[in-house]
Amino acid sequence: MTSLRSENLSSKRQPAITPSIPRRDWLIAATASTAVMALPSVKPLSAAEPFSCVPSFGEPKFGLVTYLWGKDMDLSTVIKACQHAGMGGVELRTEHKHAVEPALSANDRKTVQKKFEDSGVELIGYGSNCEFHSPKPEVLAENMEQCKKYIHLMHDCGGSGVKVKPNGFSPNVPNEKTIEQIGKALNELAAYGEGFGQQIRLEVHGKNTSELSVVRDIFQVADHKNATVCWNCNGEDLMAPGIEANFKMVRDRFGDTLHARELDSKDYPYQELMNMLVASQYAGWVLLEARADPSDKFAAMKQQREIFDEMIRNAMKQPTQRKQTK
């Protein structure tokens, strides 16, 4: 698995991995790449601020997506809620009350960064609505430019990535053409974001495009290592050939984030997912993207954190699954 991180944006770094550390199922050795681009509106990473591409080993971490539980909270309240629940990080979604948007001034962006630095809660990234399936060139271009604005925003605010999404296939356009278009868009954005330490995270999303075989095909085109999969805990994950096979289908392209609904939901095998994450040494973020509307969201977040901790403890008790060799 490849985890992409910008060393100047977070103090929580994984140690370097040496060949003496055993690999487990679904892990792929990372390849390093650095592409610092001279972009006009934002200062890219300097030579003293390398963009590193290293394997992520360890245990999953727990955080929050502000959709829906944080959508009506201002930024200070979002941070306070995460502190209360013991959630170490948050993905801020666009068009919510916390109002972290490209319109923020340079000083406002510094204020956002300092709020997170002072709080001990990590700004993991941004949840955008950028999508790349439209057959209209002007719509595709608009989404590409919007995503670049979010890349700048997260660079300035101290985040490490931008979530984007496929949103279905276009009528009267062959699926293969749409897949190729999405993949090429991801490659362009991945190269652009790399110079700013921003990972591009494609949420598994949309009618038919939520099928893992489609996501796999998109990433056969999107071969830039800064283009990554954000697993989304959809019902489609359970389709044939089953969750384990679907997980393995895209595990090597996981980024630093995945989304989950309430972990005590009965309609998704969350314990099995945690078992696979731990067995494959996923050290990224499991981000709660809840669907219910509890009156006390602080308490609900804390409860979800407790459920997560218990699931990880259970997963750690599972037998280690070693890579099989012929």
Give me the tens of pLDDT residue by residue for the chain, a chain 326 residues long.
333 333 333 333 333 333 333 333 333 333 333 333 333 334 444 333 333 333 345 799 999 999 989 999 999 999 999 999 999 999 999 999 999 999 999 999 999 999 999 999 999 999 999 999 999 999 999 999 999 999 999 999 999 999 999 999 999 999 999 999 999 999 999 999 999 999 999 999 999 999 999 999 999 999 999 999 999 999 999 999 999 999 999 999 999 999 999 999 999 999 999 999 999 999 999 999 999 999 999 999 999 999 999 999 999 998 864 443 23
Residues 6+ apart with CB under 8 A from 304: 62, 85, 262, 263, 264, 288, 290
Domains, the chain: 3-316 (3.20.20.150)
Paired tokens of 148: 């670049």
Angle at 252 (CA atoms; ends 58, 235), nearest 5 degrees: 95
Tokens 């805990």 identify what position? 233
- Give DSSP secondary structure letters for 211-254: SHHHHHHHHHH---TTEEEE----GGGGSTT-HHHHHHHHGGGB
Query: Which residues pair with residue 54 across a beta bridge?
Result: 3
Distance CA 227, CA 248 (A): 17
Q: Give the number of other Cβ atoms within 10 Å of residue 56's Cβ.
A: 21
pTM of the model: 0.82
Query: Cα 72 from chain centroid?
Result: 22
Q: Which secondary-structure segment (H or E) carries 271?
A: helix 270-279
Distance CA 51, CA 196 (A): 8
Distance CA 34, CA 191 (A): 9
Distance CA 212, CA 217 (A): 9
